[in-house]
């Protein structure tokens, strides 16, 4: 059971380049989340999805797009990377029942992204 898997683990981009971060979970979770973590700050929610084919904005959505074409995958895209997007990105997931019955989200190990 792999849980939540994020790829790639590390990436360096130049300003203006685009890329897609992949989050995959094998737990049949309905809800998936993308967070960013910056030094000295807690995790901030970028976008989330409550099910296949649906996405919604979180606290800091600007400069990012997401897609949830398959239930097990949640993609985070940067169309034109900026240095301010240098961060560690975490994906998390939970079942709908787990959310409503107050259970914790499950996290991946992160993608470290540097924008030069």
Partner 1 sequence: GESVGLHLPTLSVQEGDNSIINCAYSNSASDYFIWYKQESGKGPQFIIDIRSNMDKRQGQRVTVLLNKTVKHLSLQIAATQPGDSAVYFCAEKLLLGSQGNLIFGKGTKLSVKP
Binding site for partner 1 (CB under 8 A): 4, 31, 33, 35, 40-45, 48, 50, 56, 58, 90, 92, 99-100, 102-110
Q: Which two tokens stand for residue 32?
A: 């998936």
Q: Which residues lie below 8 Å from residue 112, measured CB to CB, with a gap of 6+?
A: 9, 10, 11, 88
Nearer CB in complex with partner 1: 59/79: 59
- What are the percentages of helix, strand and coil residues in the chain, rounded to 5? 5, 50, 45
Task: Supply the minimum distance, in Å, between the C-beta of residue 29 and partner 1.
Answer: 14
Task: Supply the minimum distance, in Å, between the C-beta of residue 60 and partner 1.
Answer: 12
Distance CA 27, CA 80 (A): 32
Task: Supply the minimum distance, in Å, between the C-beta of residue 23 and partner 1.
Answer: 11
Nearer CB in complex with partner 1: 13/46: 46
Task: Supply the minimum distance, in Å, between the C-beta of residue 107 and partner 1.
Answer: 4
How many other CB atoms are found less than 10 A from the CB of residue 29?
22
Nearer CB in complex with partner 1: 79/109: 109
Distance CA 116, CA 110 (A): 19
């Amino acid at each position: 059971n792999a849980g939540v898997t994020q790829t790639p683990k590390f990436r360096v981009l130049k300003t203006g380049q685009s890329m897609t971060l992949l989050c995959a979970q094998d737990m049949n979770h309905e809800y998936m989340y993308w967070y960013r973590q910056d030094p000295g700050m807690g995790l901030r929610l970028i976008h989330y999805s409550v099910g296949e084919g649906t996405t919604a904005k979180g606290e800091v959505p600007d400069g990012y797009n997401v897609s949830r074409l398959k239930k097990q995958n949640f993609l985070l895209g940067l169309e034109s990377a900026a240095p301010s997007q240098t961060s560690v990105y975490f994906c998390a997931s939970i079942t709908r029942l787990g959310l409503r019955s107050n259970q914790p989200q499950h996290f991946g190990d992160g993608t470290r992204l540097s924008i030069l």
